Amino acid sequence: MKMLITGGAGFIGANFVHYIRQHYPDYQIIVVDKLNQQGNLENLAAVRDQIEFHEFDLIEEAKLVLIFEQGLDYVVHFAAETNVDRSIEDPDNFVNSNVLATNILLRLSRDHKVKRFHHVSTDEVFGSLELGSDDKFNEHTSYDPRSPYSATKAASDHLVRSYFHTYDLDVTISNCSNNYGPYQVPENIVPVFTLMGLQDKPLTIYGDGKSIRDYLFVLDHCRAIDLILRKGRAGETYCVGGGQEQNGVEIADGVLSILDKSQELKKFVTDRPGHDRRYAIDYTKISRELGYQPSVTFEEGLRQTIDWYQANTEWWQPYMEKFYVPKFMQKDVEQ
């Protein structure tokens, strides 16, 4: 089997590359990543001599054609601009990476008869749920994106489905909840809070800290995608969740407790514009049809993640030199 993994040097993509290498040693793996602020070739150091790696932007179609001409069985599409705060400041970049690049990959997959195209998406395309409700997103939830990031992911989801209905391309889609785990750059809450706590710096909590997300340990996500590739039905969408709802205050408390740091490190700052209040995933479909179940509780996963960052200081230290602070909260951080 020959598999193209886009964005394979990023957080989830790199974990998936390691997963496939471990479980399917005979697969030929090709990775394309433009190595932006989220992609890091060091993430693939342990398997670098076991994969074929290309550094370029997916909108450089001529370079992609050369890879597709080799013949591909699977395309697993992780590559995307994913940071909500960055999308608020630079939406054009998100349209190019998340919509235009996806269309190029789909067209080439159709023309070169790829056996299955799997698109990795997000629960953020569904909008927001009310705090205190029992509602959860599922495969029938209407799309209601609230940020340029989620809007471009929603657009790419629709493109993928259109290639199934219009061109009969074998596609699957997964909409996942918030991932966390090793190799995640400090632009997301778990690594940011972990690295701030390790350095005795403030853990900046947006707004009242009560916005809730469903958290999914990254290796559980990798298992889910593997199940979809092997057993999923063409044209279907699968919602992948961790069943672990946490708000910002709870995550800060958990990190500080594991690190044995003072709770006074918590600092409440200006809320993100258009901040969704709650996400939750109903993963009944993938559980019933494919046998998926999350295997890691949030407490277990958080401890494993913190242990990884403590053991890999040389990996995360360069990020501290160019730590990203959204414009809307820069005044809070400076205070």
Distance CA 126, CA 123 (A): 6
CA torsion, ordered 151, 135, 186, 257, to nearest 10 deg: 170
Return all residues near 288 (Cβ < 8 A) that are at least 6 apart: none
Contact 138, 200 (CB under 8 A): no
What does the pLDDT read at residue 328? 41
pLDDT (tens digit, 9 = 90+) per residue, 94-103? Answer: 898 999 999 9
pLDDT (tens digit, 9 = 90+) per residue, 176-226? Answer: 999 999 999 998 999 999 999 999 999 999 888 889 999 999 999 999 999
What does the pLDDT read at residue 327? 46
Catalytic residue selected from 33, 81, 85, 123: 123
Please give the average per-residue pLDDT across 146-170, as a whole number: 96
Distance CA 177, CA 239 (A): 8
In CATH terms, is domain 2-179+215-240 a member of 3.40.50.720?
yes
Contact 27, 68 (CB under 8 A): no
Catalytic residue selected from 149, 163, 206, 215: 149
Distance CA 269, CA 185 (A): 21
Q: Give the 3-state secondary structure of residue 290.
A: helix
- Catalytic, 124? Answer yes
Catalytic residue selected from 33, 85, 124, 187: 124
- Catalytic, 149? Answer yes
Distance CA 155, CA 149 (A): 10
pTM over 0.85: yes
How big, in percent rounded to 5, are the helix, strand and coil portions of the chain? 45, 15, 35
What are the angstrom distances between the C-alpha of 313 and each of 188, 199, 318, 320? 17, 11, 9, 11
